[in-house]
Every structure is written in structure tokens, then in C-alpha cells.
Amino acid sequence: MMLRDPRRLLRVSVAPAAALAVAVLSSLSRCSLLEPEDCVISALSPYFGTKTRYEDVNPGLLLDPEAPRRDPELLEETCTPVQLVALIRHGTRYPTAKQIRKLRQLHGLLQAREPGDDKTCAAGSHDLRAALAAWPLGYAEWMDGQLVEKGWQDMRQLALRLASLFPALFSFENYCRLQLITSSKHRCVDSGAAFLQGLWQHYHPGLPPPDIADMECGTPRINDKLMRFFDHCEKLLTEVERNATALYHVEAFKTGPEMQNIVKKVAATLQVPVSNLSADLIQVAFFTCSFDLAIKGVKSPWCDVFDIDDAKVLEYLNDLKQYWKRGYGYTINSRSSCTLFQDIFQHLDKAVEQKQRLALS
């Protein structure tokens, strides 16, 4: 799986005939700390994109998040895994500092309301606005996208699933052939550390893992040029990142009727002037529902601000941005990833060559 926001890469070489490369870029959030019947859900969950919890995509994780699952027709006895390459997003994280500042701005608008300003509100709108005003902000700027405890658990359990799914590749003899390559983003470095903790748990069940620096195989290796290739492609930076017109279609949609209808609706709910809100603030409010579900396992009042039709519009807005900034909107977007994919296929080719040489010897 390749999501165009890589932050870390984990790589391991295995037996002489095999090489194992696992890229840990990120994982989505989940509510696996809760019992299945206690897992809080929201009708908006299918529209959160990469901020969706694992359980909302794969409910089987609720039953046993450490149990591997695969198509029974895959990897039959006649098939021997030679190499594993995985590109995975980082574990569940806090909102970024930028998102938290926007959320604080929204919270400030609610707190600034005068007691008498609610007299003209409909009862339902008044109740929801009051609930939002009373709902604790819950996030501080120092959190700035850091991995939350559930994110550590995400990666530990992912390691356990992969080790169980590919026991030959993840044998103890191959443990120190594992290489973890990550970007310098703290949530990615921590995701790699959590992955290694999960492997330690696999190899040493019942024993608490030591510090990553004290493990046999060492710490993850940082390589931003490989893992954050989009920050090191000058043509991408010039034509897209630094180009004020590159996201023209996104900005046009933000001011279009679909988004402006949602802005007006939310303004009426919060009882604030429409001019105090923007599409960016609305999107942060929408994702706050997702963050609270993923991080805290609770359904916040922000989830009640939007209905399914709103969610579809906001999902489209996010997809539109990714299309032009990271997807197929510009040819350079995909070409900028050639360095990473070249690295992956070089390791795949090497593994096949080694396997073929052994077969002929």
C-alpha cells in the first residue's frame, strides 16, 4: 500500500535467499482498546479518508487485533515468500499544531458568545452549540502530530500480525537482518520504535521490551531523501508546492456553493457570523470528530454538526486537494516517487536473483 505521505521506512534483510524490507510510514487509528460492543462509531466514519480508524475499515480487528488475516487461497504450501515490502503509514497521532490552532479558533468563537445571544436559536441548535461550548478542547500545540498511545499499540500489533503471517521471514534468525528506515518526523520514528517493540514481544513473549537503543538490531535509520521524496524533488516543489495556482480547483471548490452551504449551516449551528468561518475551519471541525473517535474512543458533539451529505462534500474537498497536490493532477506528483520505488524494486530484484542462484547451485 502506498499513501503519498510517507514518513518512515523499516527495512530488514532475512536469510541469504531472502531479504525483508518493511516500510513503516503510518497506520490508521482504531479502537482496539475497547471491547467490540463498546466501540463507539459514527455515521461519518466512511468519509474521513486517511484519518479513518482501522476498525472502521476492517471490523475484524475488533475480535483480535493481533491475529493475521488473509485470503485462504494466498500463500499456499507451494508458495514460499522470498521478500516482503510494506509501505505503511504511521500510527494514530494527535492533530498537528496547525489543526489545533484552528480548533482553538473555533472554540474561541463558541466561548465568546454572550448568554443572551441564544434567544433566537432553535432548541436543537442551541443544545448542540451549548454542548460544543462545554466540550473540552483536549489538544495543545505541543502535541503537534505526535504518536498517541494507541498509535504505539497500532504498530506493535501490526508487527505481531506480520510476524504471524510470514513466520519464515520473521524468524528469530532473521531478526537482526531487519532494517527500519524512517523519515525524521517524530511520529514516524516512534512508529518504527513501536514496531520493533512488537517484534520483541513476538520473540520474547511475556518479557517487557528494553529501550530501542538496547535492542540487538539497533534503532531506525533516518533517510528523509528516500522517505520524504516529495520534499527533495525540486520540480515538484517549484511546480506544485510553491506554485500559488497549483491548487486553483481546490480553492474554487472552497468558495463554491457546496462548501458555502455547509459554512452557512455550521454558522447557524454555532450562532456565529458566516464571515467568521471558512472552509478550512469547517474541515478541521469535521476531522475533530475523527480525532476524538480515534484517539479517545468517544463521539464528540462535533460529529453531530455534520450529516452524511456534508461528509460527502468534505470528503470530496480532501480528495480534490490530494488529487492536485499528491495524486494524478500533475505528472510530477507521481514521478517524484521514482526514487522510493526504484529502491523497492532493486531489493525485490536482488531477492529473486539470490533465490535463483541458490536454486542452480
Whole-angstrom distance, CA of residue 168 vs CA of residue 18: 10
| Cα dist from 168 to 39, 165, 174, 180, 259, whole Å | 34, 9, 9, 19, 51
Whole-angstrom distance, CA of residue 155 vs CA of residue 151: 6
**Catalytic status, residue 232:** no
Whole-angstrom distance, CA of residue 101 vs CA of residue 280: 12
Grid cell for residue 335? 514521478
Pick the catalytic residue: 90, 107, 126, 249? 90
Whole-angstrom distance, CA of residue 167 vs CA of residue 309: 45
The catalytic residue positions are 90
